[in-house]
Amino acid sequence: MKNIGVLTSGGDAPGMNAAIRAIVRKKFLEKKHRQKAYKNLCSKDIGSLIVIGGDGTFKGACEFKNEYPDINIIGIPSTIDNDLYGTDYTIGFDTACNTVVEAVDKIRDTASSHSRIFFVEVMGRDAGYIALYTGIANGAEEILIPETKTNIDDLVDNIKNRWRINKKSSIIIVAEGEETGGAVKVSQIVKEKLPDYEIRYTILGHIQRGGNPTMRDRLNASRMGYHAVKSLIIGEDKIMIGIMNDQIVKIPLERAVKNFKAVDKDLIEMMYILAI
């Protein structure tokens, strides 16, 4: 077998180091730069490529494979959004969630002390996994995600009802892709309807992409990296290494790109039931 190249692309995510880290830019998505990449691979006698990233990275990898079929490609899912089809888990998601949980715990302290309603925006432009998981874990009073419709009137009524039973602070987790426009927009609308309430918003931003990876991220990234190399050794090609029910799985790379990973309906139901 020839040498193996490792490529990471797209948004950074904690845990990539554990899967072997290299840095490239989005130029890989453009044909002229893929041509240059292919020449570089050939000059280094690299016949296989392990691609670490999200759906955009994998789309570029599929294009690359179609153009240069002699290069074997294996994908490792890495995105804090956890929205790739064919795997329960993507590298970086667990660390990002732990970062959010820790931050919201601290925001909860100040919200309680000053009887404030806090809208906390987390990442998730197209999928609400971070908001959903951390909102449930933090005991958020409301969780707003792209997959569900935001009813402002219900949101306002819920805040009022909590106030009546002397629950005067609330944490509302908002995914950045929520239909109203994120935490800033939602908080402004609610403030207009509740001018006498102490309403604040905070955007956690890129702290979700940084920090030391959790044990789970390190372990699963190592597992996927190990199985990616094993797959190349036995001649497998154009697949993604994933984890389903805590077991390593392999699916065609194109299937991971073309399909949408829906949020667990049980978690959405739990979100509504646990909201107070």
Residue 34's contacts (CB-CB under 8 Å, 6 or more residues apart) are 28, 60, 63, 64, 67, 68
126 flagged as catalytic: no
- Torsion-angle region of 272 (φ positive above 0: left; ψ -120 to 50: alpha; else: beta): alpha
Q: What gap in Å lies between CA 244 and CA 103, rounded to an integer?
A: 29
Residue 39's contacts (CB-CB under 8 Å, 6 or more residues apart) are none
Q: What gap in Å lies between CA 205 and CA 200, rounded to an integer?
A: 16
Please pick, among 81, 83, 88, 217, the residue that the annotation labels catalytic: 81
**Inter-residue contact 24 to 9 (CB < 8 Å):** yes
Helix (H) or strand (E) holding 185: helix 183-193
Which residue numbers are catalytic? Answer: 81
